Amino acid sequence: MIFRFFFKVGALIFNLFFIIGAVSRFFLEIIFTGFAPPFYLKEIMKQLYRVGYTSLPVVGLTAFFTGGALALQIFEGGSRFNAESVVPSIVAIGMVRELGPVLGGLMVAGRVSAAMAAEIGTMKVTEQLDALKTLSIEPVKYLVFPRVVASAISLPILVSVGNTIGIMGGLFVGTTRLGFDSQLYLLNTLEFLTIDDFTSSLVKATFFGTIIAIMGCFNGFYSKRGAEGVGRATTAAVVSSSILILASNYFLTEWLFKP
């Protein structure tokens, strides 16, 4: 009984290290094959459109409602010690430092890493990856590198737009429901935000974008045969990229804002 428990735990840990090893190897392969000519610029542009542009509505809506809800919560909380005036600054800091990148990252992870895993997984099980190799195209270089680059570029832009919309959400709720003056609200917002807040947002977003594409492509590349294999790869891509985003967010926060 006890023995079997330890055996299971051992196997789990072994598997975990095995996967970490495989992902690291995959990452190195992306770097080594990607940063040498030829560069598939058209593929990068295509992915910029698919990852970046088409994610705008999702990220925008998420940010708007989050900013609004944040304003309501902080107003209610602040009113307990007559500090309602902190609403604009805390909405702004909360959005830019944490919620913008994290929620934006999670929403894009759900859309994009799933799509990448499904697409590449299908290409694998239908032998399209093999076909690419026989036509002298390296699949990691041709399929993965453009996705990682596009995702790492798109996320900071998406998150910046999301941050702005989130602050607007707070402003909208603040002026229509909480009786703030719009000019005062904006002034308050700008007064408290620092350059560090913005850079941390961009650094986090770039990290998350890289994670999303790598986990999506990795799971597609190593998907098992058959339709079931692709289904599992898709789920695994979303779960693993979401967990990695949340975990790395903690460590990035610790690193960026040393207490």
Partner 1 sequence: MNPPVIQAQGLSKRFVNNEVFNDINLSVNKGKSLAIIGGSGQGKSVLLKCLVGLMQPDTGKILFDGEPLQGKHIQKFFDSFGIVFQGAALFDSIPVWENISFKFKYSGTHSIKARRKIASQKLDLVGLPSSNLDLYPSELSGGMQKRVGIARAIATEPKILFFDEPTSGLDPITSNTINNLIRFIIKELGSTAITISHDLNSIRTIADDIVLLHKRKIEWSGSIDTFEKTKNINIREFIKPSST
Give the residues lining the site for partner 1 (CB under 8 A). 38, 40, 122, 126-128, 130-137
Choice between 82 and 134, CB closer to partner 1: 134
Choice between 122 and 164, CB closer to partner 1: 122
Rounded to whole angstroms, the Cα distance separating 90 from 19 reads 39
Q: Please, what is the minimum distance in Å from the beta carbon of residue 142 to partner 1?
A: 8
Choice between 64 and 222, CB closer to partner 1: 222
Q: Please, what is the minimum distance in Å from the beta carbon of residue 122 to partner 1?
A: 8
Q: Please, what is the minimum distance in Å from the beta carbon of residue 128 to partner 1?
A: 5
Q: Please, what is the minimum distance in Å from the beta carbon of residue 225 to partner 1?
A: 11
Alpha helices in the chain (DSSP H): 2-34, 41-47, 56-79, 87-94, 100-108, 114-125, 128-134, 139, 145-177, 182-192, 195-221, 226-256
Report how far apart, in Å, the C-alpha atoms of 124 and of each of 81, 118, 227 are: 59, 10, 11
Choice between 131 and 247, CB closer to partner 1: 131
Instruction: List Cβ neighbours of 210 (8 Å cut-off, separation of 6 or more).
Output: 148, 151, 152
Place of tokens 């429901």: 177
